[in-house]
Chain A
Amino acid sequence: MAKELIIKDLHVNVDDKEIIKGVNLTIRQGEVHAIMGPNGSGKSTLSNTIMGHPRYTVTSGDIIFDGESIVGLSADRRARRGLFLAFQYPMAVPGVSVSNFLRTALTNIRKGDVTQEIKPQNLDVQGDRPLYEKETTKAKVGGDGANIDRKKKEMLIKPAEFRKILNEKLALLQMDSKYTKRYLNDGFSGGEKKRLEVLQMAVLSPKIAFLDEPDSGLDIDAIKVVGSGVQALKGPEMGIVIITHQQRILTYLKPDFVHVMMQGLVVKEGGPELADQIEEGGYAWIREEFGLQVTAEEEREEVELNVN
Chain B
Amino acid sequence: MSTDAVSTGRAASYRLGEEHLSLEAVESLSARKGEPLWLLEKRRQGWELFERLPTPNWTRGIRNWWSSNMNEVDFDRLKPYADAVSTGGAASYSQLTQYQLAEQHPTGEGENSGDLSSGKLIQHNSEVVQVELSEEAKTAGVWFGSLDQAVIEKPELVQQYFMTRAVLVGEDRITALHAALWSGGLFLYVPKGVVLSAPFQAFFYADEPGLASFSHTLVVLGKNSSVKLIEEHRSPDSPVHSFDGGVVEILVGEGAKAEYYNPQEWGNGYFNYSVKRAVIGRDGFQRWVVATLGSSSSWVNVESVLEGQGAQAETTGLSFSTGEQHFDVKTKSLHAAPHTSANTLFKAVLDDASLTGFQGGIRVLPAGQQTDSFLEDHTLFLSDASKADALPSLDVDANDVRCSHGATIGMIDAEQIFYLQSRGLDRSEAEKMIVAGFFEDVIQRVPLESVRERLRDSIDAKQGGDGSLRVSGGESLMFNLNEID
A and B associate in one complex: yes
Tell me the smallest distance from the CB of A74 to a CB of chain B, in Å: 6
Quick check: is B72 within 8 A (CB to CB) of the other chain? no
Tell me the smallest distance from the CB of A123 to a CB of chain B, in Å: 7
Is A150 in contact with B423, judged by CB distance below 8 angstroms? no
Tell me the smallest distance from the CB of B477 to a CB of chain A, in Å: 5
Q: Which of A120, A123, A126, A148 contacts B429 (CB 8 A)?
A: A148
Tell me the smallest distance from the CB of B376 to a CB of chain A, in Å: 14
Is A125 in contact with B481, judged by CB distance below 8 angstroms? yes
Is A147 in contact with B426, judged by CB distance below 8 angstroms? yes
Q: A126-B477, A150-B460 are in contact. Are A91 and B429 (CB under 8 A)?
A: no
Is B484 in contact with A105, judged by CB distance below 8 angstroms? no
* Chain A residue, CB-CB nearest to B470: A121
Q: A76-B422, A85-B422, A150-B465 are in contact. Are A93 and B428 (CB under 8 A)?
A: no
Is A145 in contact with B469, judged by CB distance below 8 angstroms? no
Is B424 in contact with A142, judged by CB distance below 8 angstroms? no
State in angstroms the CA–CA spacing of A136 and B478 once bound together: 18
Is B419 in contact with A104, judged by CB distance below 8 angstroms? no
Quick check: is A146 within 8 A (CB to CB) of the other chain? yes
Q: A54-B414, A96-B440, A120-B475 are in contact. Are A74 and B427 (CB under 8 A)?
A: yes
Number of interface residues of A (CB under 8 A): 52
Q: Which residues of A contact B470 (CB under 8 A)?
A: 121
Is A142 in contact with B427, judged by CB distance below 8 angstroms? yes
Q: B26-34, B63-71, B205-213, B431-439: which one contacts chain A?
A: B431-439
Is B109 in contact with A159, judged by CB distance below 8 angstroms? yes
Tell me the smallest distance from the CB of A308 to a CB of chain B, in Å: 28
Q: Which of A53, A90, A149 contacts B465 (CB 8 A)?
A: A149
Is A93 in contact with B434, judged by CB distance below 8 angstroms? yes
A42-56 interface code vs B (CB 8 A; 1 in, 0 out): 000000000111100
Tell me the smallest distance from the CB of B236 to a CB of chain A, in Å: 18
Is B423 in contact with A127, judged by CB distance below 8 angstroms? no
Quick check: is B467 within 8 A (CB to CB) of the other chain? yes
B264-281 interface code vs A (CB 8 A; 1 in, 0 out): 000000000000000000
Q: Which residues of B contact A87 (CB under 8 A)?
A: 419, 422
Dominant SS at the B interface?
Answer: helix
B129-153 interface code vs A (CB 8 A; 1 in, 0 out): 0000000000000000000000000
Quick check: is B413 within 8 A (CB to CB) of the other chain? yes
Quick check: is B239 within 8 A (CB to CB) of the other chain? no
Residues 92-129 of A at the B interface (beta carbon under 8 Å) = 93-96, 101, 104-106, 108-109, 120-123, 125-129
* Chain A residue, CB-CB nearest to B468: A121
Q: Which residues of A contact B428 (CB under 8 A)?
A: 121, 145, 147
State in angstroms the CA–CA spacing of A80 and B421 once bound together: 10
Q: How many A-B residue pairs have CB under 8 A?
A: 140
Q: Which of A52, A93, A142 contacts B416 (CB 8 A)?
A: A93
Quick check: is A1 within 8 A (CB to CB) of the other chain? no
Tell me the smallest distance from the CB of A142 to a CB of chain B, in Å: 5
Is A93 in contact with B437, judged by CB distance below 8 angstroms? yes
Q: Which residues of B contact A4 (CB under 8 A)?
A: none
* Chain B residue, CB-CB nearest to A144: B426
Number of interface residues of B (CB under 8 A): 44
Tell me the smallest distance from the CB of A125 to a CB of chain B, in Å: 5
* Residue picked from A93, A122, A149, A153, most chain B C-beta under 10 Å: A93
Is A121 in contact with B469, judged by CB distance below 8 angstroms? yes
State in angstroms the CA–CA spacing of A13 and B85 once bound together: 66
Residues 160-185 of A at the B interface (beta carbon under 8 Å) = 183-184
Quick check: is B464 within 8 A (CB to CB) of the other chain? yes
Is B425 in contact with A76, judged by CB distance below 8 angstroms? yes
Considering the complex of A and B, which 9 residue pairs feature the smallest CB-CB distances, nearest first?
A95-B437, A145-B426, A95-B440, A108-B424, A143-B426, A96-B437, A75-B421, A105-B423, A79-B424
Can you name 7 extra interface pairs (CB under 8 A) apart from A104-B433, A108-B429?
A75-B422, A93-B420, A96-B434, A109-B424, A147-B426, A150-B457, A153-B109
Residues of A at under 8 Å CB distance from B? 51-54, 74-76, 78-80, 84-85, 87, 90-91, 93-96, 101, 104-106, 108-109, 120-123, 125-129, 131, 141-151, 153, 159, 183-184, 200, 204
A/B interface sample: 26 pairs, CB < 8 A: A74-B427, A76-B425, A76-B426, A79-B423, A79-B424, A84-B422, A87-B419, A91-B413, A93-B433, A95-B436, A95-B439, A96-B437, A104-B429, A105-B420, A105-B423, A109-B423, A121-B464, A123-B478, A125-B474, A126-B477, A142-B474, A149-B466, A150-B457, A151-B465, A183-B437, A183-B440
